Amino acid sequence: MPSLEAVHLTKRYGSFVALDDANFRFEGAGAIGYLGPNGAGKTTTLKLMTALGSPTFGRGLLNGVDVQTDAKRALWDVGSVIESPEPYPWQTGQKTLEMVAELRGMPRRDAARRIVELARALDLPPLDRKTGRLSKGQRQRIVIAAALLSDPSIIILDEPTSGLDPAERVAIRNILLELKKDRLILMSSHLLSEVTEVCDRAIFINHGKILLNDTVEAISKRAVDMEVDVEFASPMAAADLGPKIAELVRSIKSLSATKLRIDYGGGQEKRAEILRRCVAAGPVVSFASATLTLEEAYLQLMGSSNAGPNPLARD
């Protein structure tokens, strides 16, 4: 069963802390999204996990093998795309993939068959063309193909769809959805919709610190316990309802002429009282927990990590 673990992983550049005591462990198949703004520490983490950098403290383990002390064995069953790697520009796509196959000890026949499979699945550019003459997106697809070539059990991807057009993104996303059924994928991305669609879990990181590590579903649920969406049969302004429930809520926001989002901070009794007062204020069509997209959770978390305690963190 594939496993991936960071133990007190820390990276400092002088006084700057790029990664501060990161800890996580994942085992078994699935996909984990690694989210954070630019400079948050995402790529640093992925570099440390793939032996492209060495930690100041702590260690990274891939399938139980320490990346720093035995990189060859640790990376043996791992395919990765970190930053936007550039294969040798003088090599053709075919030779680029064959070289990786040779370095990974794949039998020639298996490699040839796999290259054909990947060329079809990823719609690779003509493989007899030198990679230096390919577009960024075409090169990125060659690099992704190289990462998947040996059919590794762990796949580490740093913004894998960056530079790809929408159709290429869909193709990669579909492949990831297929792969995550029996492989472990750790991927950073700026595209929260992509993470929502592909990943089962998400890690939020900012200023080098991991803020949250949970399932995508749970992250949304944490926020829904704090807000309700109320829909009235007739128009209802936030200013009209506000005075009636003021002491119970933190804020009221109009979503439409008839729909309001009430942030009450959680609590069943408070929620029941808000419902009672809303019904008294006008005919209520629906009263339900607010749904929060991963994007909204991300924005909440990143906003607060710059200015205060984490509203999504569990007590």
Partner 1 sequence: MIRDWDQFLVSLKTQVRSYLYTYRFWVILGIMLAVGGGISIAFTIKGVAWVHSNFGQNAADYVGGELGFISFLAIVTGAFFGGDAISTDFGTKTGYYMLAQPVRRKVLLAGRYAAALLVSVGMFAIFYLFAIYGGTYFYSFGSIPWANLGLSFLFGALLVAGILSFAFALSATSRSPAIGLVLTIIVLLVVFNIADGLVARFAGSQYVVYSILYASNIVSTVITDGLSASNPALWVGLVIMAAYTVLFLAISLILYQREET
Q: Does 196 bind partner 1 (CB under 8 A)?
A: no
Q: CA-to-CA distance for 13 and 115, rounded, in angstroms?
A: 40
Q: Does 286 bind partner 1 (CB under 8 A)?
A: no
Q: CA-to-CA distance for 233 and 167, rounded, in angstroms?
A: 42
Closer residue to partner 1, CB minimum distance, 44 or 305? 44
Q: Does 80 bind partner 1 (CB under 8 A)?
A: yes
Specify the stretch interacting with partner 1 by CB under 8 A; choose among 23-31, 33-41, 45-53, 115-123. Answer: 45-53
Query: At CB < 8 A and 24+ separation, what contacts does 257-261 make?
Result: 258/231, 258/232, 258/233, 258/234, 258/285, 259/229, 259/230, 259/231, 259/232, 260/229, 260/230, 260/232, 260/236, 261/227, 261/228, 261/229, 261/230, 261/290
Taking the complex as a whole, the smallest distance from the CB of residue 199 to partner 1 amounts, in Å, to 21
Selection from 188, 179, 192, 178 nearest residue 151 by Cα: 179
Q: Does 100 bind partner 1 (CB under 8 A)?
A: yes
DSSP-assigned beta bridge partners for residue 254: 260
Among 28, 57, 64, 88, binds partner 1 (CB under 8 A): 88
Q: List CB contacts of 247: < 8 A, sequence separation 6 or more.
A: none
Among 25, 27, 54, 299, binds partner 1 (CB under 8 A): 54
Closer residue to partner 1, CB minimum distance, 85 or 311? 85
Taking the complex as a whole, the smallest distance from the CB of residue 84 to partner 1 amounts, in Å, to 6
Among 3, 56, 84, 215, binds partner 1 (CB under 8 A): 84
Q: CA-to-CA distance for 245 and 262, rounded, in angstroms?
A: 10
Q: Does 217 bind partner 1 (CB under 8 A)?
A: no
Specify the stretch interacting with partner 1 by CB under 8 A; choose among 73-81, 177-185, 275-283, 297-305. Answer: 73-81
Taking the complex as a whole, the smallest distance from the CB of residue 42 to partner 1 amounts, in Å, to 15
Q: CA-to-CA distance for 279 and 268, rounded, in angstroms?
A: 17
Q: Does 105 bind partner 1 (CB under 8 A)?
A: yes
**Running DSSP on this structure, what letter comes out for residue 215?**
E
Q: Does 208 bind partner 1 (CB under 8 A)?
A: no
Closer residue to partner 1, CB minimum distance, 85 or 282? 85
Specify the stretch interacting with partner 1 by CB under 8 A; choose among 99-107, 243-251, 271-279, 291-299. Answer: 99-107
Contact (Cβ atoms closer than 8 angstroms) between residue 63 and residue 2? yes
Residue 267 gets the label, from left (phi > 0), alpha (psi -120 to 50) or beta, of left
> Can you list the alpha helix ranges (DSSP code H) found in 186-289?
192-198, 216-224, 238-245, 268-281
Selection from 148, 162, 199, 158 nearest residue 177 by Cα: 199
- Please give the C-alpha separations between residue 27 and each of 105, 149, 153, 248, in angstroms, as whole numbers: 26, 22, 11, 43
Taking the complex as a whole, the smallest distance from the CB of residue 100 to partner 1 amounts, in Å, to 7
Taking the complex as a whole, the smallest distance from the CB of residue 2 to partner 1 amounts, in Å, to 15
Closer residue to partner 1, CB minimum distance, 105 or 308? 105
Among 7, 17, 52, 281, binds partner 1 (CB under 8 A): 52
Q: Does 19 bind partner 1 (CB under 8 A)?
A: no
Q: Does 91 bind partner 1 (CB under 8 A)?
A: yes
**Running DSSP on this structure, what letter comes out for residue 92?**
B
**Contact positions toward partner 1, by CB under 8 A?**
47, 50-54, 71-76, 78, 80, 82-88, 90-91, 95, 99-100, 102-105, 143, 146
